[in-house]
């Protein structure tokens, strides 16, 4: 029936966590966030119509804002976006079999948050560097410069291959440099796959909250050092989306 409702599951938290009155869930209008407890753990949930599509950017934003806000005050295990179950009993069916494992995972994330570092090469600066360092690429660039694309198809393809290889090598080097810069401040790291052909670095960092300021300072210095070559974005603090691993519940 159209008016049947289920529960959207956001994440798992310690049982003593309370939902704040202003916490807004997914849906239109946003659902009220509540807590379902079992033993030492609990799930953050809100009611949603079972036939409602849940893929709007506003829904993803509400999901992330709730989890990131929770991570600022308590450990949280994010549950995959879009996980909807039929009711409280179904939530308990998720919690009961894995209670001890989830409780252990929550203890591991106590006092820790995630940051994401996303760097993107300045395309012009990158291409200048590739041509300066690679004579074969420079010769090909000279061959195609000012000539019709149809008449230079083969050298353009080869030039594209050389540039792509150079970008990949530089990306690997930049990720290593970034990991070395952050190593003394973080608990764990996860490389993310590139989201764009000009991505220079894309890394998730798990950090103890008492080391956040030192990490941010180190990354700001890193960004200053790489200015002109790449643009760096720092996102966080966030819930530990990249580090829940086997603890994460599937949708």
Residue-level pLDDT at 246 = 44
Does 43 lie in the same domain as 135?
no
Does 55 lie in the same domain as 28?
yes
Per-residue pLDDT tens over the stretch 65-82? 999 999 999 999 999 998
Contact 168, 201 (CB under 8 A): no
Task: Give the integer Cα–Cα distance in Å for 152 and 3.
Answer: 62
Q: Which domain holds residue 144?
A: 113-238
Per-residue pLDDT tens over the stretch 96-135? 999 999 999 999 999 999 999 999 998 888 888 888 888 8
Does 142 lie in the same domain as 106?
no
Residue 251 has pLDDT above 50, yes or no: no
What is the average pLDDT score of the chain?
89
Residue-level pLDDT at 249 = 52
Q: Which residues pair with 46 in a beta bridge?
A: 8, 33
The pTM is what?
Answer: 0.85
Q: Which residues pair with 115 in a beta bridge?
A: 205
250: in domain: no
Does 183 lie in the same domain as 127?
yes
Residue 230 has pLDDT above 70, yes or no: yes
**Among candidate residues 88, 110, 132, the one where a domain is terminated:** 110
220: in domain: yes
Give the start-end residues of each E strand in the chain.
5-14, 33-38, 41-49, 77-78, 84-85, 112-121, 188-191, 199-208, 230-238
Does 125 lie in the same domain as 104?
no
| Of 180 and 248, the one with more pLDDT | 180
232: in domain: yes
Does 117 lie in the same domain as 102?
no
Does 140 lie in the same domain as 65?
no
- In angstroms, what CA-CA distances link 217 with 183, 189, 238? 13, 18, 17
Task: Give the integer Cα–Cα distance in Å for 110 and 210.
Answer: 12
209: in domain: yes
249: in domain: no
């Amino acid at each position: 029936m159209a008016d049947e409702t289920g529960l959207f599951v956001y994440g798992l938290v310690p049982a003593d966590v309370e939902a704040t009155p202003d916490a807004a869930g997914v849906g239109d209008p946003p659902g009220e966030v509540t807590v379902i407890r079992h033993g030492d753990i609990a799930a953050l949930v809100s009611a949603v119509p079972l036939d409602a599509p849940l893929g709007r950017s506003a829904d993803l934003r509400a999901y992330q804002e709730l989890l990131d806000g929770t991570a600022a005050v308590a450990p949280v295990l994010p549950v995959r976006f879009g996980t909807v179950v039929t009711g409280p009993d179904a939530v308990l069916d998720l919690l009961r079999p894995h209670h001890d494992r989830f409780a252990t995972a929550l203890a591991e994330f106590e006092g820790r948050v995630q940051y994401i570092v996303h760097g993107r090469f300045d395309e012009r600066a990158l291409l200048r560097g590739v041509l300066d360092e690679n004579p074969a690429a420079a010769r090909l660039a000279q061959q195609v410069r000012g000539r019709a694309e149809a008449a230079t198809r083969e050298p353009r393809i080869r030039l594209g291959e050389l540039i792509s290889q150079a970008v990949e090598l530089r990306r690997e080097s930049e990720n290593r440099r970034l990991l070395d810069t952050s190593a003394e401040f973080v608990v764990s790291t996860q490389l993310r796959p590139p989201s764009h052909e000009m991505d220079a670095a894309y890394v998730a960092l798990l950090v103890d909250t008492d080391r956040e300021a030192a990490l941010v300072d180190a990354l700001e210095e890193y960004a200053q050092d790489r200015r002109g070559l790449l643009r760096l974005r720092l996102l966080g603090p966030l819930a530990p989306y990249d580090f829940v691993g086997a603890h994460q519940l599937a949708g």
